[in-house]
């Protein structure tokens, strides 16, 4: 087995994902794990999903945007932004297949001594007892969701300082962040 590469929110940015794979010389023995939010915001949601569905080297946890799309497709009342509506229109053909795939995504992927989740893990709560909202939406640094709000960009800045191998690529149109 080759390397395990963990990537942040892809948000339908297929071309930028391919750029990243080329930049790191992603090989046939490598594995890619996404922290979720495969879709919404970028322009190639279908291509991202097709890649993850068809290539067993690719796996992901469920992200908050993925979850929101699923909830919408299941008839639940959710607040949709234009990016969600655009993704819904793009994915209408094949919706059942894409919904089934997203519904199959785990909330947690274990990698040896690391856990991959989309948002956060509530301190002091066993991983099996974490709320889906915490794993997909947690935006705090402490045990109390009402305090210690994380500032935008702090996660990526910390990752760049902690991991010398962390890299970023150009912004995906509409996603507003680096891949």
Which candidate, 60, 61, 70, 66, places its Cα nearest to that of 40? 66
> Residue 163's Cα: distance from chain center in Å?
19
Enumerate the domain spans of the chain.
Answer: 4-162
Task: Find the helix or strand (DSSP H, E) in which 154 lies.
Answer: helix 154-162
Name the residue with tokens 């750029």.
19
CB 178 within 8 A of CB 171: yes
Residues marked active site are found at 65
Kindly tell me if the per-residue pLDDT of 41 is higher than 90: yes
pTM of the predicted model as reported, rounded to 2 decimal places: 0.82
User: What is the CATH architecture assignment of 4-162?
Assistant: 4-Layer Sandwich (3.60)
Which candidate, 80, 129, 86, places its Cα nearest to that of 108? 129
**Strand, helix or coil for residue 65:** helix
pLDDT for 155 equals: 45
State pLDDT tens for residues 2-22: 999 999 999 999 999 999 999
**CB-count exposure of residue 9 (10 Å: 0-12, 13-18, 19+):** buried
State pLDDT tens for residues 19-39: 999 999 999 999 999 999 999
74-84 burial: b if 16+ Cβ within 10 Å, else e:
eeeeeeeeebb
CB 60 within 8 A of CB 106: no
């Amino acid at each position: 087995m080759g390397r395990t590469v963990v990537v942040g929110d892809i948000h339908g940015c297929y071309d930028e994902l391919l750029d990243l794979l080329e930049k790191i010389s992603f090989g046939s023995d490598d594995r890619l794990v996404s922290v979720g939010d495969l879709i919404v915001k970028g322009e190639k949601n279908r291509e991202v999903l097709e890649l993850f569905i068809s290539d067993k080297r690719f796996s992901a946890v469920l992200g908050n945007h993925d979850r929101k799309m699923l909830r919408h497709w299941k008839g639940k009342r959710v607040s949709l932004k234009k990016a969600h509506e655009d993704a819904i229109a793009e994915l209408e053909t094949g919706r059942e297949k894409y919904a089934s795939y997203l519904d199959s995504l785990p909330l947690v992927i274990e990698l040896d001594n690391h856990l991959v989740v989309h948002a956060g893990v509530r301190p002091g709560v066993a991983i099996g007892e974490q709320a889906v909202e915490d794993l997909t939406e947690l935006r705090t640094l402490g045990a109390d969701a009402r305090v210690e709000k994380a500032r935008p960009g702090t996660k990526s800045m910390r990752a760049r300082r902690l991991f010398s191998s962390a890299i970023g690529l150009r912004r995906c149109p509409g996603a507003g962040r680096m891949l």
